[in-house]
Amino acid sequence: MKKVYFKPLDESNEKLVREVTLKSDQRNFIETVDECLREAKEYKQWQPVAIYHNEDFIGFAMYGSFGPNRYTWIDRIMIDQKYQGRGLGKEAMKILIKQVSEEYKVDVFYLSIIEENKVAEHLYKQIVFKYINEKDSNGKLIFKYTVH
């Protein structure tokens, strides 16, 4: 049985990615997929990917590495509301960390969340992201993960 895996965004899955639907109480916590894809077009460092579980498309993520210090961000991860509550977001994040670590040869990752997004904060703390007492330019809390 396949686990969660990722595919680069292309014409075969872009329509699916653009149709990711979050629960109504989550929509103010993260940018829309369209906003993410516009940002990825503008900044080529961003890598948008489709998330799958077995053969089912389940979500979207975007990551990238920036600057001479290669600050690496897992900037967006969205699991469609139909697939939430099954542990797939947590599994996707763990696998994405491993893959991005190998791709960029880094062992430190960052992400940021809106302070009110307690569900995401709880998930990231379970994965051992640590709040670093800083906020990004949009006022989001910055978390750091170090590969062990």
* 124 belongs to the catalytic site: yes
Convert the pLDDT of each residue in 57-110 to its tens digit: 999 999 999 877 789 999 899 999 999 999 999 999 999 999 999 999 999 999
63, 83, 124, 145: the catalytic one is 124
Nearest one of 119, 123, 144, 147 to 134, comparing CA atoms = 144
Structure tokens at 20: 């990711």
Q: Which helix (H) or strand (E) holds 139?
A: none
β-sheet bridge partners, residue 135: 141
Residue 78: C-alpha distances to residues 89, 132, 134 (Å): 8, 23, 23
CATH dotted code for 4-146? 3.40.630.30
pTM: 0.91
pLDDT surpassing 90 at residue 111: yes
CB 6 within 8 A of CB 61: yes
